Chain A
Amino acid sequence: MIRSMMTALAALALAAPLAAQEVVPDPGDWDAITAAAQGQTVYWHAWGGGNAINDYIAWAGAQVAERYGVTVEHVKLKDTADAVSRVIAEKSAGKDAGGAVDLIWINGENFAAMKEQGLLFGPWAEDLPNWHFVDVEGKAAVTSDFTVPTEGLEAPWGMAQIIFYHDTARLSEPPRSIPALLDWARANPGRFAYPQPPNFLGSTFLKQAVMELAPDPAVLSAPVNEESYAAATAPLWDYLDALTPHLWRGGAAYPQSGPRLIQLMNDGEIDLALSFNPNEPSNAIANFELPDTVRSYVLDGGTIGNASFVAIPYNANAKEGALVLANFLMSPEAQARKSDPAVWGNGTVLALDKLGEEDRARFEAIARGIATLSPEALGDSLPEPHPSWMVRLEQDWTARYGVGQ
């Protein structure tokens, strides 16, 4: 009697966790995925600050609704961290299924943190039907997000690269390297600004500088350690000590975001700025945010580039729908439209030589924006350092320049 009760209890104990778990979708069985996705609503948490981007997301949602019966709701974020916070709050409250976030536009530190805390669903990205178009061989960034292996936990959907831009009406010959930037700033005090780290664009400026200035840039791709950090960053701090007094407002105040640089450029407060979207100046010109005399360029030694991704939280409510959307975002059609500067102008993650004739033609037909560089002029991007470098750089930057000492 007692034994049978024990057995029953054990069976219950074993069965309960299984019953509580939902059926995990298998990305390999694509027909089952699309069937289950039908009728789902995908809440896609994505930065909502750009007209062009919001329009593109609305378009993608409409396409997926028409073709797969998946409704897409764009949850417009001011910061990716808001979506991460949401998932953490749900985990704290024990809500391990039916979460509010189905898909997040993510990369870098946010991805590394969610991966480390086990907050992501997957792996799934490399099982998607459109994965075989992705330029895995040519673009290391699509499988290595700030050097952290993506391991199929996120799917790439766009490429970004640092560019600098200037108003040719005021500045015809901009500095083309990090050391030249210092000389130029000395001669033109108060006319350059970068966003305040830990804003990601500001932090990327620091990384760009450390890459050019470090005696041995190779150490940057490995996790940071005390020895390598001190050696690699000593020239950076010397450089910033020299540059800061010649920054906009003498470094006593910093712009809080990348878009604020566009305002400052348009207001005539600065002559040189940077962006993580090679097409941003063209978009801004089309939107009356900048004069049409603005042009962009990259530094002679190349600039940092990375990929951005979409990821699915572990407790997402509409995982199948999110998979369908992520797959569509990697399709040649969606990628070509995204590359079109008249739409958004974001670089593709696909390898054009893997595409069919018709799809390749879509890309070749795209006309570039007035202030947008050709892929040849952009050149090969430099890889991001390991994320641990960014954390240390941000901390030390804040201690040195961010607290008014």
Chain B
Amino acid sequence: MRLAVSTTAPPPSRRRARFLPWAPLLTLAVMLGPVLAGLSGTLAPALGYMPALGGHGVTLAAFDALFAWPGLPRAVALSLGVGFAATAISLGLVVLICAGWAGTRTFGAIERLLSPLLSVPHAAAAFGLAFLIAPSGWIARALSPGLTGWARPPDLLILQDPAGVSLILGLVTKEVPFLLLMTLAALTQVRPGQSLRVAQALGYGRVTGWLKAIFPQLYRQIRLPVYAVLAFSMSVVDVAIILGPNTPPTLAVQVVRWMSDPDLSMRFQAAAGAVLQLGLVLLGLGLWRLMEVAVARLGRVWIASGARGRRRGEQALRMGALMLGGLAALAVIAGLAGQVVWSFAGLWQFPDLLPDALTLRNWQRHGPRLAGPVTETLLIAGAATGLALLLTLASLEAGHRHGLRPATRALWLLYLPLIVPQVAFLMGFQTLSIATGVDGGRAAVVLAHLVFVLPYVFLSLSEPWRAWDARQGVIARALGAGPDRVLWAVRLPMLLRPLLVAAAVGFAVSVGQYLPTLLVGAGRVATLTTEAVALAAGGDRRVIGVYALAQTAAAFAPFALAVVLPRALWRNRKGMRGG
């Protein structure tokens, strides 16, 4: 109705602003449309309908075959166990690090470490960790044969252990930085300094006070990122192939195996497995929610008990959290260092700590070939991130101007692309993209990446956006600025740093996309990640090293810009640098 009224006498500026109220809807459509269409494209073959492979009816045969697979109980248990353990450990570590160190100088150093850690692609971090902890890995090489007496590596099951411990460790090293980043954004809204001072004045220890006064407020803000971590850990494929068990593997890995089985009738079973994977993630989220309720109850009792926290216990917790966090960071960094050495390595055997010889041959061979994929990666990531920023800002500004503040109820929808396992919708996603002709080119890949980039950009930006003190806007309006000028001249410049961080996160997400790029790009769009995965199939650690470094560099550059650019732009404006 409002539309009809406004069209009768449209002042030019009002007509221009008409896009804004639709922005949140458009944003949701861009994210949800492909996911829902993709899900239906997986559900159909799971129920036996896939005419291309001669499946016309509706049957439960695929599920029967799935449930007849003898590895199913263990694969399901493994997926749940790995997801819960990785999420709980990551969250615990992040909370303790914040509780023990927020506001200190050490915490500043931790913050600076975040961006490089976030830039390392999951698979590269997993390869790095594998080379560190294997019985023939770097750690064993450093100790052998001197300390261990091993002239050849022992036959120990460290990697790919049936319980998934090394997989959990690998996931924790990557999820801690992500959750920490999300927590930092949320902390600005919770304003922990004041509450903590009050708690400490009342005699609470630092950690206890933080856990009692701040964590309950904070958790509400980071709940959705925690869910995303849980869903991701339960359905991750690339890391699980490198570090996870394989007799049987996790359910997601098994689904991918079935999907690539030469026996095409297995595609139906794969689709049924993907549907089960989705159910498993939903079950996992439900269980986690129950745990939240239980922890909250216990927590309330603990808070009401008034325990102030013992000094020695507090110290142990602080130091323990810092050490474990440091270890997780070290694992990623040392793993990357290992890849650097491999990329220059000649022959390098156990138990040599370093290669027999260093050579530039790998870089000479692969360096020049990086140019094409690097350009493609940067163009796609740039475009997807730009679009994501535009949609996010438009949605947020629409919420601000038109009071369309997205209710928390709608907000979880933004997480759908992060929560629905990729294996559950990418098959259908591919068919959809072919059927609509949005397929096989750079533009199509940009749109596919947008589905995954947008939630992360929205996540990273929405909290700082809302935390912005609206009184600044009131002052600007009082000085005669219209809403557009307030946005462009006041709000965006003040939020430059969070904007750039959100862009960097989105960029890194785009750089890391493998399956969406392959499926929607028809194999014709070669990015660093698609090249890296194909070349990694050959198992040459030198090539894997070259590409891992190139991927890391591509993802790291925007993070570095996010730090450097505000400093350079605001070198004469001290008050803006904190933003």
| B575 at interface, CB cutoff 8 A | no
Decide: A78 near B536, CB < 8 A? Known: A263-B541, A288-B347: yes
| B320 at interface, CB cutoff 8 A | no
**CB under 8 Å from chain A, chain B span 295-348:** 345-348
Contact residue among A101, A109, A170 (Cβ-Cβ distance under 8 Å from B262) = A109
Contact at B537–A82, with CB atoms within 8 Å?
A: no
| A4 at interface, CB cutoff 8 A | no
Contact at A403–B540, with CB atoms within 8 Å?
A: no
Tell me which of B69, B248, B257, B260 has the highest count of chain A C-beta atoms within 10 A of its own C-beta.
Answer: B260
Contact at A403–B537, with CB atoms within 8 Å?
A: no
| B518 at interface, CB cutoff 8 A | yes
| B272 at interface, CB cutoff 8 A | no
Chain B 112-140 near chain A by CB (<8 Å), digits 1 or 0? 00000000000000000000001110000
Closest chain A residue, CB of each to CB of B514: A78
Decide: A92 near B350, CB < 8 A? Known: A84-B262, A262-B539: no
Give the chain A neighbours of B578 by CB distance below 8 A. Answer: none
| B551 at interface, CB cutoff 8 A | no
A82 CB to nearest chain B CB (Å):
7
Contact at A117–B264, with CB atoms within 8 Å?
A: yes
Chain A 165-206 near chain B by CB (<8 Å), digits 1 or 0? 000001000000000000000000110000010100000000
Contact at B159–A253, with CB atoms within 8 Å?
A: yes
Complex CA gap A404/B50 in Å reads 33
Complex CA gap A302/B557 in Å reads 55
Contact at A403–B74, with CB atoms within 8 Å?
A: yes
How many chain A residues touch B (CB < 8 A): the figure is: 74
Contact residue among B54, B74, B155, B435 (Cβ-Cβ distance under 8 Å from A117) = B54
Complex CA gap A236/B69 in Å reads 22
| A401 at interface, CB cutoff 8 A | yes
Complex CA gap A88/B432 in Å reads 13
Contact at A402–B535, with CB atoms within 8 Å?
A: no
Contact at A77–B267, with CB atoms within 8 Å?
A: no
**CB under 8 Å from chain B, chain A span 308-339:** none
Contact at A78–B533, with CB atoms within 8 Å?
A: yes
Give the chain A neighbours of B347 by CB distance below 8 A. Answer: 266, 288, 290-291
Complex CA gap A94/B70 in Å reads 36
Complex CA gap A101/B50 in Å reads 20
| B434 at interface, CB cutoff 8 A | yes
Contact at A404–B346, with CB atoms within 8 Å?
A: no
Complex CA gap A86/B162 in Å reads 33
Give the chain A neighbours of B54 by CB distance below 8 A. Answer: 117
Give the chain A neighbours of B519 by CB distance below 8 A. Answer: 86, 89
**Contacting chain B: which of A13-21, A42-50, A378-386?**
A42-50
| B431 at interface, CB cutoff 8 A | yes
Closest chain A residue, CB of each to CB of B245: A253
Give the chain B neighbours of A43 by CB distance below 8 A. Answer: 522-524
**CB under 8 Å from chain B, chain A span 246-275:** 248-254, 256-260, 262-264, 266-269
Chain A 72-85 near chain B by CB (<8 Å), digits 1 or 0? 01011111111111
Contact residue among A112, A170, A257 (Cβ-Cβ distance under 8 Å from B537) = A257
| A110 at interface, CB cutoff 8 A | yes
Contact residue among B53, B246, B345, B522 (Cβ-Cβ distance under 8 Å from A88) = B53
B458 CB to nearest chain A CB (Å):
29
Decide: A189 near B247, CB < 8 A? Known: A259-B540, A263-B541: no
Decide: A403 near B71, CB < 8 A? Known: A81-B260, A252-B157, A259-B539: yes
Contact at B350–A402, with CB atoms within 8 Å?
A: no
Contact at B346–A288, with CB atoms within 8 Å?
A: yes
Give the chain B neighbours of A108 by CB distance below 8 A. Answer: 262
Contact at B262–A113, with CB atoms within 8 Å?
A: yes
| B202 at interface, CB cutoff 8 A | no
Contact at A76–B440, with CB atoms within 8 Å?
A: no
Contact at A253–B263, with CB atoms within 8 Å?
A: no
Contact at A403–B262, with CB atoms within 8 Å?
A: no
Decide: A92 near B431, CB < 8 A? Known: A250-B155, A254-B247: yes
Complex CA gap A254/B248 in Å reads 10
Contact at B435–A93, with CB atoms within 8 Å?
A: yes
Decide: A256 near B523, CB < 8 A? Known: A47-B537, A49-B539, A92-B50: no
| A9 at interface, CB cutoff 8 A | no
Give the chain B neighbours of A79 by CB distance below 8 A. Answer: 260, 537
Contact at A267–B349, with CB atoms within 8 Å?
A: yes
A219 CB to nearest chain B CB (Å):
21
Contact residue among B135, B247, B431, B533 (Cβ-Cβ distance under 8 Å from A269) = B135
Chain A 148-176 near chain B by CB (<8 Å), digits 1 or 0? 00000000000000000000001000000
Give the chain B neighbours of A90 by CB distance below 8 A. Answer: 434
Complex CA gap A350/B431 in Å reads 40
Closest chain B residue, CB of each to CB of A91: B52
Contact at A48–B534, with CB atoms within 8 Å?
A: yes
Give the chain B neighbours of A251 by CB distance below 8 A. Answer: 247
| A225 at interface, CB cutoff 8 A | no
Decide: A51 near B543, CB < 8 A? Known: A78-B537, A254-B246, A267-B350: yes
Contact at B536–A49, with CB atoms within 8 Å?
A: yes
| B160 at interface, CB cutoff 8 A | yes
Give the chain A neighbours of B241 by CB distance below 8 A. Answer: 256
Decide: A405 near B70, CB < 8 A? Known: A49-B535, A253-B160, A288-B542: yes
**CB under 8 Å from chain A, chain B span 325-378:** 345-351, 359, 365
Give the chain B neighbours of A109 by CB distance below 8 A. Answer: 262-263
Contact at A402–B247, with CB atoms within 8 Å?
A: yes
B571 CB to nearest chain A CB (Å):
45
Give the chain A neighbours of B50 by CB distance below 8 A. Answer: 92
Contact at B533–A198, with CB atoms within 8 Å?
A: no
Closest chain A residue, CB of each to CB of B345: A288
Complex CA gap A150/B53 in Å reads 21
| B230 at interface, CB cutoff 8 A | no
Complex CA gap A205/B533 in Å reads 26
| B427 at interface, CB cutoff 8 A | yes
| A100 at interface, CB cutoff 8 A | yes
A228 CB to nearest chain B CB (Å):
20
12 A-B contacts, Cβ less than 8 Å apart? A49-B536, A51-B540, A75-B524, A88-B264, A90-B434, A198-B261, A253-B161, A256-B241, A266-B349, A269-B152, A269-B155, A404-B162
Task: Known pairs A86-B522, A89-B519; list 14 more (Cβ under 8 Å).
Answer: A49-B538, A76-B531, A85-B430, A93-B432, A170-B152, A196-B247, A249-B160, A252-B157, A258-B539, A260-B539, A267-B134, A269-B350, A403-B74, A404-B247
Chain A interface residues (CB < 8 Å from chain B): 43, 45, 47-51, 73, 75-86, 88-95, 100-101, 108-110, 112-113, 116-117, 170, 189-190, 196, 198, 248-254, 256-260, 262-264, 266-269, 287-291, 391, 398-399, 401-405
Per CB-CB distance, the 4 closest pairs between chain A and chain B, nearest first, are A259-B539, A49-B538, A109-B262, A403-B71
